[in-house]
Structure 1
Amino acid sequence: MDISVVGVGHSCIDYVGLVNRIPAADERAIIKQLTCQVGGLVATALAALARLGVKVGFVGKVGDDALGQMILKEFTREGIDISRVVVEKGASSSASLVLTEEGTGRRTIGSYRAFEDLSEDEMDRDYITSGKFVHVDGRFPKASLLAARWAREKGLEVTFDCDQISPHVEETIRFTDYLIADEAFPADFTGHEDVVEAATALLRLGPKAVVVTLGRKGCVAVTAQGIIRQPAFEVKAVNTLGAGDVFHGAFLYGLLQGWGLEDNLRFASLVAAIKCTRLGGWSSLPTLNEVKDFVSEAGISFPLLA
């Protein structure tokens, strides 16, 4: 298999309940819709890439329970290579409980993390460095660092979905080409409240670009050449769960096409916005043709998709 992107990181089952409002402590809310779907940062990014027509492979760990089988089945359905996934005997798989507020997309999330990391013995270096990009999420700190280091040593580029301060995070950033962080991480890590100042401080650690996703406010990218701001596309959001992960997958798609950073940010924002208009898990991820149809129907100018 000619894999373009290998992802090393987290996968889980998400139990997602749609409620009319997020309940306060000791309050109840009626769940209007309940779904069970596969999630995880790297996992969802790879699924987004696969929907766009890119061959991808996943390196991670699941338990040998029913949830683990569900995760592997969904990976296979999406065409994601799982030949290097570790299935741990006697272990439970990771899961999350998500309440999503109807109308606003606000969420409350509780997570069960079944595994702390992957050992070096559980990682196939040749496989991880067999593509063009390596994508990590830091959920397995040592594995993320190791994969990023191996990629750098082979001359591959690394993207890092970074949303929390974890062991080895600074070391991993130093082996990262494109750091994509959520709104909270840059301030938490650097101490700078201003997003551009925080991103600039992260840039000094070595990435070519630091991208910060800002939800409804879009995203901002900082490079040695300057600052790029991309507004969010205005859509009627019904499900924002995983939108950031989809952004990362679409961003990687743009990198594979050789697009400039500005076009890449716009495309990633567009794909994430389309995902937010649909209920469901990976079934809500758009194909490339669906992205093109959306652009055409919405009257959006995007010459690279013509």
Structure 2
Amino acid sequence: MKLLTISDLCADLVVPIDELPLRPGKHQLSNQRLFVAGGTSNTLIVAARLGLDTHAVGAVGDDWLGKMVLQQLRDENVSTNHVQVVPDATTTLSVELVDNRARHVFVGALGEGTTVELSTDIDTILSDIEAVFCTSYALASHSLFSCLDSLDILKYAHRCAVPTFFDLGPAAFSMDREIVEQAINVSTVVFTTMEELIGWTGSSDKIKATNEIFGVGAEIVVIKCGKEGCLIMSSDEDIMLDGFEVTVCDTAGAGDAFAGAFIFGYLNKYSLTESGTIANAAGAITVTRVGTGPYVAQCVEIFDMLESYGVTFSE
């Protein structure tokens, strides 16, 4: 089963420190720093580890960060054949400071360079693809890979009856609302958090807020609720799934990992409850260590956790 993701690929610099917030004049030392693939790469890696045939479409800068991200993806058997390396461009870097209470803050440095367009026709890109995943970040005008092409791929996949997955994400709040709504309109599943859902719809009533997303065109809304688990809503059912109790070290990348595992479950014809449970496990394992990219959940860890909780799936 083949999953395609659309997005610029970014790098994370993860720096563990003693405490947040930072205070002027109070200096801290870090004994660790991790340069790793981040963002959509986390989704790709979890999906690949679970057995999906994963493919990335997007761009990186022609710098050492871009090379690192591509190598880490290739090490996980993710195809990067349709990722363009943009000459004289820089790769987006997200610096994460995470303290010993698992609180974190991001400082982002957007990639800079000439925007590139799709170098292969869409039919070739989508050949045998069974799911497409996109985030609002991919639709932002600052992307190295054309945001218009990203939206076109998502729309074309929808017209071809390919399941489409869209993560609302924080970037949605700093761009043209109409573009985001076009993405929601062609999405089978929309991932979001409760904070994002309330912020986007202006309603603190989750039923009313979710119905607004349905009204735009989405079929299923998956609300990621952190340690509380997730809420999955469709026209047929509302499902609240408890999270797994773990010791939290770093929550960065958990939502990305969740998405990769949920898509795996969906494509393997698991029920929404089962897909959400697998996704909860992937997210829970990811938060137990510091770092993203190679540090996200492994397949065996996910199913060991499910087994330890007595979770079984129907044939």
| Among candidates 34, 43, 46, match of residue 45 of structure 1 | 43
| TM-score normalised over the length of structure 2 | 0.89
1:180 matched to which residue of 2?
Answer: 191
- In structure 2, the CA distance between the partners of 1:264 and 1:174, relative to structure 1 (3 Å rule), is same
Distance 1:117 1:45 in 2: 26
**2:152 paired with 1:146:** yes
| Among candidates 107, 114, 132, match of residue 110 of structure 1 | 107
Question: What amino acid maps onto 1:143 in structure 2?
Answer: D
Alpha-carbon offset, residue 25 of structure 1: 4.5
- In structure 2, the CA distance between the partners of 1:73 and 1:287, relative to structure 1 (3 Å rule), is same
Distance 2:18 2:48 in 1: 33
Residue pairs, 1:191-270, within 5 angstroms: 191-270=202-281
| Contact map agreement 2:252 2:291 (CA 8 A) in 1 | no
Secondary structure of 1:159 counterpart: strand
1:7 matched to which residue of 2?
Answer: 5
Distance 2:77 2:254 in 1: 20
Distance 1:118 1:156 in 2: 27
Question: What amino acid maps onto 1:162 in structure 2?
Answer: L
Secondary structure of 1:286 counterpart: coil
Between the two proteins, what is the percent identity of the paired residues?
A: 26
| Structure 1 gaps, min length 5 | none
**2:153 paired with 1:155:** no
1:283 matched to which residue of 2?
Answer: 294
**2:57 paired with 1:59:** yes
Moved more, 121-130 or 51-60: 121-130
Alpha-carbon offset, residue 117 of structure 1: 9.4
Distance 1:264 1:240 in 2: 20
- In structure 2, the CA distance between the partners of 1:267 and 1:156, relative to structure 1 (3 Å rule), is same
Distance 1:86 1:8 in 2: 12
Question: What amino acid maps onto 2:155 in structure 1?
Answer: R
Question: What amino acid maps onto 1:227 in structure 2?
Answer: D
| Structure 2 gaps, min length 5 | 140-147
Secondary structure of 1:303 counterpart: coil
| Contact map agreement 2:253 2:296 (CA 8 A) in 1 | no
| Contact map agreement 2:61 2:113 (CA 8 A) in 1 | no
1:136-187 per-residue CA deviation (whole Å, 9 max, x = no partner) reads 0122212332121110121101000111233310011000000001232211
- In structure 2, the CA distance between the partners of 1:215 and 1:143, relative to structure 1 (3 Å rule), is farther
1:34-77 per-residue CA deviation (whole Å, 9 max, x = no partner) reads 2111101x221011101112111001111111111111111111
